Amino acid sequence: MQFTADQIAALAGGKVEGDGSAVVSTFAKIEEGHPGAISFLANPKYTHYIYDTESSVVLVSDSFKAEKPVKCTLIRVADPYATVAFLLETAAKLMQPNPVGIEQPCHIAEGVEVPEDAYIGSFAYIGKGVKLGKGVKIYPQAYIGDNCKIGDNAIIYAGAKIYYNCVVGDRSIIHAGAVIGADGFGFAPVDGHYNKIPQLGNVVIEDDVEIGANTTVDRATMGSTRVGRGTKLDNLIQVAHNCVVGHDTVMAAQSGIAGSTKLGSNCMIGGQVGFAGHITVGDNVQIGAQSGIPGNIKSDSRMMGSPATDILKYAKLVVFEKNLPSLYDRVAAIEKELKAKAAAEEIKK
């Protein structure tokens, strides 16, 4: 598919500077631009690429001021990053396949109603009592356990597993290999060994949630483990039993939340962050990568480190740590000088 700069500007609400008839058919990073591609400039450190990029069209902000001539066509928008995300989403809807129907072989339990616009891929398993919403897509080898509810236009990708009694909301996406509703890690020590504590709750994934590949969300011991509306979890994340994650929170890969922890809404969590169990993290919290969270965090905090501390304090600590070798040498030199003076005083006596 091909689009002109004028067509893209009309779609995105932007203003063209240059050749409005310039044609693009693909996307490219600005530093890897080539004819026929559209790129974007959102980060100022990439500004120098705009003067040499081979991309035919580049999205820039309304405030962008060129310091020298550019050969590409510019489309000015309020937010280039948000605009390219919108264009990618639009292109995906046009380009991605939209399978409909039931492939064979697959297993659909007796009594399960499959909407006409749904898709069930080969070797998928749909258990007893499952409720499927309109437009759902269940890809090959996915497993939907008994009495699950899958909302309208939800997507369950190949090999994902949804254990019994769990709920997936409207328009939510569960990527390949994710496991929703496995038993929480509950064991009671008895006479030198561990007895399993039955995990009788479920998992509730609310609307517009995205769960990354090979991420696991454990079922509650009782009640529900819950992931709030609009939250996005990256690949390889662990959410333990009875956790609650608020709405519109984003969490990067390899992070883990221990049991019964409550994570607020609109939080931003870097990769490999570890949360202790039974703690509460407020809303609008930002936590840097590889941080360790041993206790409660107030809303609107910015934290980093292990154990995590205020991010500005952490930055100072990093500077101090880098200076430790030179500080050690200075102290050693002072000690040597003091010993020499002490020895000289002894000789005088």
Catalytic center residues: 241
Output the CA–CA distances (angstroms, integers) from residue 34 to 1, 25, 56, 164, 343, in the order listed: 16, 11, 7, 49, 74
Output the CA–CA distances (angstroms, integers) from residue 237 to 73, 151, 251, 254, 330, in the order listed: 41, 23, 8, 5, 45
Q: Which residue has the tokens 């100022």?
A: 44
Asked if residue 307 has a cis previous peptide bond (ω within 30° of 0), the answer is yes
Question: Going by C-beta distance under 8 Å and a sequence separation of 6 or more, which residues neighbour residue 318?
Answer: none
Of residues 283, 313, 281, 282, the one with CA closest to residue 294: 281
Structure tokens at 104: 């064979």
Output the CA–CA distances (angstroms, integers) from residue 54 to 3, 30, 72, 85, 290, in the order listed: 17, 8, 7, 21, 38
